Amino acid sequence: MKGEVRNTMKLITVHLPESYIEGLNELIKQRMYPSRSEAIRAAVRDLLKKELWREKKLRMSKMIA
């Protein structure tokens, strides 16, 4: 399954402030993530879960009201 996920990944370019990069490097140094890419994927995944869930919850509450 991992191979399938990698085949569907797309390369994007993102400009980040130096402080963010330093923070990512610190996470890797502390062995919390194996790479900057993996840490960024986790952050994007968590953001999408949070924002999409919030949007869905708001729509559902408006339907009930």
**Interior/surface letters 24-58, b for 16+ CB within 10 angstroms, e for the rest:** beebeeeeebeebeebbeeeeeeeeeeeeeeeeee
Comparing C-alpha atoms, which of 45, 53, 23 is closest to residue 36? 23
One pLDDT digit (tens) per residue for the chain, 65 residues:
454 555 689 999 999 999 999 999 999 999 999 999 999 999 999 999 998 887 777 677 777 76
Predicted TM-score (pTM) of the model is 0.71
